[in-house]
Amino acid sequence: MLAPKIVLVTGANRGIGLEFVKQFLLLKSPPKYIFACCRQPDTAEELKGVAKGNPSVHVLKLDVCDQSSIDNAKAFLESKVEGEGLNLLINNSAIISHADLYNATREDMAKVYETNAIGPLMVVKSFLPLLKKAASVDPSAAMSCNRAAIINISTGVASISENSSSGLYAYRASKAALNMITTNMSLDLKNEGILATAIHPGWVKTDMGGPNALIDTVTSVTGCMSVMEKLHGEEGTGKFYHGVRGDKIGWS
> How many other CB atoms are found less than 10 A from the CB of residue 220?
28
Neighbour-count burial for 4-18, b at 16+ CB within 10 Å, e otherwise = bbbbbbbbbbbbbbb
Alpha helices (runs of H) in the chain, residue ranges in sequence order = 15-25, 45-52, 67-81, 106-113, 119-135, 169-189, 217-230, 233-236
DSSP state of 117: I
pLDDT of the residue at 214:
78
Question: What is the bridge-based pairing of β-strands 57-61 and 33-38?
Answer: parallel
Question: What is the bridge-based pairing of β-strands 88-91 and 57-61?
Answer: unpaired
Q: Rounded to an integer, what distance in angstroms lies between the CA atom of residue 79 and that of residue 116?
A: 28
Pick from 68, 5, 73: nearest CA to 36: 73
Strand-pairing partners, residue 61, are: 38
Domains and CATH numbers, the chain: 6-242 (3.40.50.720)
pLDDT of the residue at 252:
59
Q: Edge-to-edge strand order for the sheet containing 195-200?
A: 57-61, 33-38, 6-9, 88-91, 149-153, 195-200, 240-242
pTM of structure: 0.96
Contacts 24+ apart (CB under 8 A), 208-215: 208/15, 208/94, 208/95, 208/96, 209/15, 215/244
pLDDT averages per 10-residue partition of the chain, 252 residues: 98 97 98 98 97 97 98 97 96 96 97 98 98 97 98 94 91 97 98 98 83 87 98 96 92 68
Pick from 74, 82, 78, 160: nearest CA to 124: 74
pLDDT of the residue at 86:
98
Q: Rounded to an integer, what distance in angstroms lies between the CA atom of residue 188 and that of residue 72?
A: 25
Question: What is the bridge-based pairing of β-strands 33-38 and 6-9?
Answer: parallel
Give the 3-state secondary structure of residue 8. strand
Distances (CA, A) of 30 to 150, 156, 229: 18, 29, 13
